[in-house]
Structure 1
Amino acid sequence: MTGQLISIALTVDQHDGGDYFWVLLESFDHSMEFEPLMEAAAGFSTYVDALQAGYAVLKGLSENLNIGPREEADDPVETADGGTFL
């Protein structure tokens, strides 16, 4: 079974030196509060370059782009009477 969709946002910050850095943010409780998940290690000279690089990283977080990045689903466990629970 597929786990729940992970709430991830992509943004671009401009640091004091003028370079642009992509930042991936995650909402761990599916609220509107986001915390940093990943950030570019090196800056980019333009906003669009940082945005495109961040988008590539975001796409790489998903094995299947049709369903998006998902939490790992727990494997069903079979009980002694033949039932299953998650």
Structure 2
Amino acid sequence: MKCQIVGVQRKTGSFTPKDRNEKVDYDNIVMHCVHKDMHVAGDAVDTVSVKASEAGELIAAVGGDMRGLVGHVFDFDFSKFGKMVAFELVK
């Protein structure tokens, strides 16, 4: 999916799943994207989340600062479960 990053944020925290009695910590980079979708008239918006520990290569592609993602166009590939598995910096 080709999309332009229009915003980025880091989300951290913890939660307790209903099926387990232990806290799970999270640290994610959330990218707010604009892209084309054949089911949407005009542009569609979506978020793409990546674990911060797995975002090094993505952030390095734009100069090493998470805020540098804003304004760039990426082509993301996702697994059947919706996890980003590959990317290409388009612009």
Higher relative strand content: 2
TM-score with structure 2 length normalisation? 0.38
| Structure showing greater Rg | 1
The TM-score with structure 1 as length reference comes to 0.39
